[in-house]
Amino acid sequence: METSDTRAAAATHHILSSRPPVARRAAPAAAAAAARRWSTARACAGAMAVLAALGASGALAGCNDNPAPGSAAYKEGELGNGDFLFACDDGVACLPYRGDARKFPKQIATGSNFDVRFVAKGQQGTTINIDGKRYEGVTVEAVAPYVSKAPGEFAAIKPGYGTVMARDSAGTIIDYVTLKIVPPDDLIVYDANFDAERGDDPPRIQSITLKIDEAPRYRVVAEYGGNAAAGSIPVKWEAKSDSGENVVVVESYASGVVNLRAKSVGKATLTATGASLTKTIEVEVTQ
């Protein structure tokens, strides 16, 4: 019977089956782990990061400061040469306006966008050294077919176990990590002001009651099996009323946040469509 472990192993085999050069695993393991945790704590102060995709642009994973040593935000690379950090802008899996997720997610929604960056053990910049060997031009790349790399970010393409790897300009694999990609089965609409420090299960918006000229803000996160699935889901928002009047309007949608405004008394239906799912919410506007 196929299990999650066997599927993850298959993903690993997919990477190594073509026998590309692979950097040696850092050793000894205990000392390497300690050094890695210490180095990541002060990484940004010394520009100690190998950024995903566009390098200096940082995409979604801006480097203000790295999480503290031992943080659940880190997922150790399979080769032990560093750690990976996940980033998105969904506001639940990732802290708003910061980037790095509090915890490296257990599952990522298909159809979502995200970023991953690699923090090398005790190294700085895009050139690192492992056991005396120098690796230059290190970037983080996607391994098809479950994950792809769009300009500035990654995309979850289909369910399965995807892989992203850190490799140098010569093609040598520095480290890699597997990602569980899942098909979301629901969308959660929640208050954009929700404090992600409180957890990853925000109160769900089921209906909305507004006064004229109120302007609430909302976000959406995908869900699978009753748990939030990380990644930024592009969402199309629409507001309609049976009367044809603009009871509530969508003023703008940017960076995962929709801005609404109540315009006139009445009832309307608000729909959020993303990841092949639709969430419908009844809205009532009063004086």
Would you list the DSSP string of 187-201? EEEEETT--GGG-S-
Domain count, the chain: 2
- Number of residues that make up the chain: 287
One domain for residues 96 and 238: no
Question: What is the spatial distance between Cα 71 and Cα 256, in angstroms, rounded to a whole number?
Answer: 26
Decide: helix, strand or coil at residue 211.
Answer: strand
Q: 214 — phi, psi (to 5°)?
A: -65, 150
The continuous run of DSSP H or E covering 12 comes out as helix 4-16
178 and 190 together in one domain: no
Question: Under DSSP, is residue 66 helix (H, G, I), strand (E, B) or coil?
Answer: coil
Q: Is the dihedral of CA 22, 24, 29, 32 positive or negative?
A: negative
Boundary-marking domain end, from 148, 182, 216: 182
Name the pTM for this structure.
0.75
pLDDT at 135: 80
Q: Which residue has the tokens 């990541």?
A: 40
**Shared domain check, 58 and 171:** yes
Question: Where does a domain end: 147, 182, 217?
Answer: 182
Query: Rounded CA gap, 40 and 33, in Å?
Result: 11
Q: Which two tokens stand for residue 122?
A: 């005790």
Same domain, 58 and 197: no
Alpha-carbon distance 181 to 158, whole Å?
A: 7
Same domain, 66 and 173: yes
Residue with structure tokens 């959660």? 188
Which domain, by its residues, includes 60?
Answer: 4-182
Do 137 and 21 belong together in one domain?
yes
Query: What is the CATH classification number for the domain harbouring 224?
Result: 2.60.40.1080
User: Going residue by residue through the chain (287 aa), what tens digit of pLDDT does each one get?
Assistant: 555 555 555 555 555 554 467 776 554 443 344 333 333 333 333 333 333 333 333 332 333 456 777 788 889 999 999 899 898 776 565 654 356 787 888 999 999 999 998 988 765 456 777 777 878 888 999 999 999 997 778 999 999 999 999 999 899 999 999 999 999 999 999 999 887 667 667 899 999 999 999 999 999 989 999 988 989 899 999 999 988 899 999 999 998 899 999 999 999 999 999 999 999 999 999 98
d(CA 97, CA 195): 11
- Are 94 and 194 within one domain? no
- Terminal alpha carbon distance of the chain: 60
> What phi and psi values does residue 260 have, to the nearest 5 degrees?
-105, 165
* Judgement on whether residues 145 and 197 belong to the same structural domain of the protein: no
Which of 157, 182, 207 is the last residue before a domain boundary?
Answer: 182
Same domain, 142 and 105: yes
176 and 260 share one domain: no
Check whether residue 223 and residue 139 sit in a common domain: no
Residue 255 and residue 122 share a domain? no
